[in-house]
Amino acid sequence: MKLTVNGQSFVMESENNALDESIRSMCPVTLEMTRSGEHEYYAALPKKADTRGASETDSVKKDYVYYFAAWNALALVFRDTNITPYKVRIVGRADGISEILEKSAGKVNVKLEL
């Protein structure tokens, strides 16, 4: 899957599961993502994603993309952190996104496409 963040493109290596297929079915999709704390940008997806078979974690890593089912939100992480008591599901990894996200402030535009 291709991720474009503020005009800069990255290749996301995604998990091979129902969550990945569900998000792919929404592509192409453009999201305006909002910065949350000092570790991520997030935005709601246009529809709920299927989470069957997706690994769940409370320890997020930079350059990873996660799905938070409770808010139907996709999150791009730019700093490793523990988010306990929350749990997210791994969507994939896009090496290098943390560099552009860390330098951004407030909001970023993200396009997901096949």
Name the token pair of 92: 């994939």
Confidence of residue 105 (pLDDT cuts 50, 70, 90): confident
Domain range summary for the chain, segments of one domain joined by +: 2-113
pLDDT in tens, 45-57: 999 999 998 999 9
Please give the helix or strand (H or E) that residue 100 lies within, else none. Answer: helix 97-103
Residues ≥6 apart with Cβ < 8 Å to 82: 58, 59, 60
Q: What is the pTM of this model?
A: 0.96
Is-cis flag, bond preceding 28, omega within 30? yes
- CATH of region 2-113, choose from 2.40.100.20, 3.40.50.1240, 3.60.70.12, 3.40.50.300: 2.40.100.20
> 75, exposed or middle or buried, with CB in 10 Å at 0-12, 13-18, 19+?
buried
What single letter denotes the amino acid at residue 40?
E
